[in-house]
Structure 1
Amino acid sequence: MNAVTPAIRLTSRKNWSSVLGRLVGASAGPIVGFALLLVIWKIISMRIGDIPPPESTLLAAFNLFKDPFYDNGPNDVGIGWNILASLSRVAIGFLLAAFVGIPIGFLIGRVPVVNAICSPVINLLRPISPLAWLPLGLLLFKASDPAAIWAIFICSIWPMIINTADGVKRVPQDYLNVARVLNLSERKIFTRILLPSVLPYMMTGVRLSIGTAWLVIVAAEMLTGGTGLGFWLWDEWNNLNVQNILIAVLVIGVIGLILDLGLLALARRFHHSEA
């Protein structure tokens, strides 16, 4: 027993060393990348006096996040309320797009007649900038919040429709032939064949949609006003507060990165479950 124990300990140490080495290797790239970004930012701030340096900007960001949910009136609220306002608009518009777009994608991929009818319309509307739909949303809903959600809905729906339809079309015909031989109902074909096969494609569309939605909401809030990161950024520009503009840009980037990484992990999980 005593002879075996040192071998077990040695193997355990090797495993921990291997795990630690992988963690260090995985984190080295991002650390170097962010360090380079800070260095470039510092050089720019030294050459252009109007650009605040990273150390003072990060300190100001820390002070902002010390009390993110204060409320001193309609145009003076904490950054936490602005983040929540933007995220809530994105969530509503995104979920509405998923509720409409994913079933349409299944229909387009499954029914050739629906594909023939819808494809030309989608190809016509898809290249239109989401912000071009914003004035129409203001006209229809007479309010800024529904108009912003409308813009999110429009920009989010196309990747979901296209990727879901593409996934349905790529389902092996042999699977459908077997289902036909077994006389499976359309519901069983959907739950047992189509949905498991299409999930990776559908998750790719979801990931593309949420990234686009987060890009659009900032621009939409700049135009519609109220609360939200876009409005806060534009308001700080009007006040010529460059430091807070940089903080807004960093916050928008961090939240977008978190959303993308979360959905990427979810998409990989579906891919592994299908493998």
Structure 2
Amino acid sequence: MTSVPVDEPTNTSMSQTESPIAIAPSAASRLRERLFQVLPDIVLPVITLLVVLLVWHLIATNLGGGIPGIGETWERGVELLSDPFHSNGPNDMGIFWQVLYSLGRVMAGFTLAALVGVPVGFLMGSSAIFRKGWAPLIQILRPVSPLAWLPIGLLLFRAVDPSAIFVIFITSIWPIILNTSAGVVAIPNDYRNVAAVLRLNRIEMVRHILLPATLPHVLTGMRLSLGIAWMVIVAAEMLTGGIGIGFFVWDEWNNLNVSSIIVAIIIIGVVGIILDLGMNMIQRRFDHSQR
């Protein structure tokens, strides 16, 4: 009798368990991929910064004209930031207090612009008659330079702080109004039909329909307005005087301390980035809640 050969069983379970281990990426490869993703975000800004510093160095060493070098500006920056909280009267205050006074005026004018701009934007978006009546006036006033409003503010209030706040208010209100109005206009008609079916009154309509639907547009307008307000305050304080980062720049120019001006410009830019990042975080927080 001949025996029939029997195939030996293969260990399929072992081969199945080995393949995922073989193809699974190692920790080193994952780290390498992550570095390749992050590296451009680090290297490219560093290259740009080095190019700017090189151009600055060439201008300061070859062209002159009173432009301080990198080393001189660095020493002045260390001097200003080493004691930013000193206060020896209104004419001798640290850089921290200068920035803080400017931020106070910015927040006051920006808050007033938001309190007025959002309701006006809702009215313009909800009413075609109101929108047609106010749109031409807004288009005329919106391009006006902030400095053109400063004499009006000084004439009305006859004081530095209210005049600066007025200029911030009148120049930063337009993005809030226009973005809020655009958000209301963009609301789908289905939302309004649901409100009509539920017989929502005007307050309930704003609370449950208009405000949630237009919140991304409102926050975008507020983010733009805050950036405008921070730019405007520097120019306003340069002309009105008193305490503030804008007055500090003008005062250092009168004393021919150009290195202090460059340090102040860098501080103004850093504060502007912090304000924009703060508004961006608020935007992302509310956009996430709407999902």
List alignment gaps of at least 5 residues for structure 1: none
List alignment gaps of at least 5 residues for structure 2: 1-17
- Counterpart residue number, 2:12: none
Aligned partners of 1:66, 1:143: CA distance in 2, in Å? 32
Q: State which of 47, 62, 72 in structure 1 corresponds to 2:62.
A: 47
- Counterpart residue number, 1:23: 38
1:199 Cα deviation from its structure 2 partner:
1.2
Q: State which of 90, 93, 97 in structure 2 corresponds to 1:77.
A: 93
- Counterpart residue number, 2:194: 178
Aligned partners of 1:272, 1:38: CA distance in 2, in Å? 39
Aligned partners of 2:225, 2:233: CA distance in 1, in Å? 12
Matched, 1:95 2:111: yes
Matched, 1:32 2:44: no
- Counterpart residue number, 1:195: 211
Number of matched pairs: 274
Q: RMSD value over aligned CA atoms?
A: 2.4
1:202 Cα deviation from its structure 2 partner:
0.9
Change in 2 beyond 3 A, CA 1:34/1:268: farther
1:18 Cα deviation from its structure 2 partner:
4.3
- Counterpart residue number, 2:14: none
Matched, 1:220 2:236: yes
Aligned partners of 2:208, 2:219: CA distance in 1, in Å? 18
- Counterpart residue number, 1:136: 152
Aligned partners of 2:63, 2:97: CA distance in 1, in Å? 32
1:215 Cα deviation from its structure 2 partner:
1.1
C-alpha distance after superposition, 1:184-234 (max 9, x if no partner): 233332222221221111111111111111111001001000011111101
Aligned partners of 1:45, 1:272: CA distance in 2, in Å? 48
Q: State which of 248, 259, 262 in structure 1 corresponds to 2:275.
A: 259
Name the aligned partner's letter for residue 46 of structure 2: I
C-alpha distance after superposition, 1:164-200 (max 9, x if no partner): 0111001111211122122223333222222122111
- Which range moved further: 112-121 or 136-145? 112-121
1:272 Cα deviation from its structure 2 partner:
4.3
- Which range moved further: 21-30 or 62-71? 21-30
- Which range moved further: 142-151 or 257-266? 257-266
1:51 Cα deviation from its structure 2 partner:
1.2
- Percent identity reads 50
Aligned partners of 1:17, 1:269: CA distance in 2, in Å? 31
TM-score of the two chains, using structure 2 as the length reference:
0.86
TM-score of the two chains, using structure 1 as the length reference:
0.90
Aligned partners of 1:76, 1:122: CA distance in 2, in Å? 41
Look up the SS of the partner of 2:280 in the other structure: helix
- Which range moved further: 61-70 or 185-194? 185-194
1:10 Cα deviation from its structure 2 partner:
6.2
- Counterpart residue number, 2:185: 169
C-alpha distance after superposition, 1:32-63 (max 9, x if no partner): 22222212111111113321112321232122
For residues 3-14 of structure 1, the aligned pairs below 5 Å read none
